[in-house]
């Protein structure tokens, strides 16, 4: 039974992350659509709000809930994991993931009301939050106690720096070619 529960947990983690990777992209498009002339702005905004709503309530939220239910079930089957330090760190990253998810929900609700409070550049940086958390959680889950914390922290920092450099490069390319 353990393997089935683990498989379901992983499936819902994957779909949860898929939603968390895509929702900020929809936020970026909606923020950029607010600069378009009418009626294009209203048409695009309505479509993006509908897409966001479907993604958020049909895929992302249910996946988060089901991933959590199956994770708790796994912990009930394997209570010894709660005694291991790697699991404490992993749970810490999962708490951070929920904070990221809830902040996305907050931004989602603002954009559903046509309240633009962030720039598309900020959202491009924000979009990488799920990537950093995913790397940390996967390495913790796979390497467990073999994980060297110093290399892990340095690795996450290097990944963060590379992602930020990529965003800056994209912004530079986009500013030199507005069609990109």
Give the number of other Cβ atoms within 10 Å of residue 98's Cβ.
13
Whole-number Å distance between alpha carbons of 12 and 7: 9
Residues comprising the binding site? 9, 90
DSSP 98-151: HHHHHHHHHHHHHHHTT---S-HHHHHHHTTHHHHHHHHHHHHHHHGGG--HHH
DSSP 156-169: HHHHHHHHHHHHHH
Burial of 39 (0-12, 13-18, 19+ CB in 10 A): exposed
Residues comprising the binding site for heme? 9, 90
**DSSP 8-state assignment for residue 80:** G
- Torsion from C-alpha of 28, 29, 31, 34, nearest 10 degrees: 170
């Amino acid at each position: 039974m353990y393997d089935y529960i683990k498989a379901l947990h992983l499936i819902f983690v994957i779909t949860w992350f898929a939603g968390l990777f895509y929702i900020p992209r929809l936020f970026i498009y909606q923020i950029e659509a607010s600069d378009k002339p009418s009626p294009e702005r209203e048409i695009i905004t309505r479509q993006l709000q509908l897409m966001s709503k479907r993604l958020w309530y049909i895929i992302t939220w249910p996946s988060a809930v089901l991933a959590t239910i199956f994770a708790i079930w796994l912990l009930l089957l394997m209570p010894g994991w709660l005694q291991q330090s790697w699991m404490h760190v992993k749970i810490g990253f999962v708490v951070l993931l929920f904070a990221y998810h809830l902040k996305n929900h907050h931004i989602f609700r603002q954009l559903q009301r046509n309240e633009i409070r962030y720039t598309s550049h900020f959202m491009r940086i924000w979009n990488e939050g799920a990537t950093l958390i995913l790397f940390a959680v996967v390495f913790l889950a796979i390497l467990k106690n073999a994980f060297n914390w110093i290399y892990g922290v340095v690795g996450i920092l290097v990944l963060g720096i590379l992602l930020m450099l990529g965003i800056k490069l994209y912004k530079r390319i986009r500013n030199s070619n507005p069609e990109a």
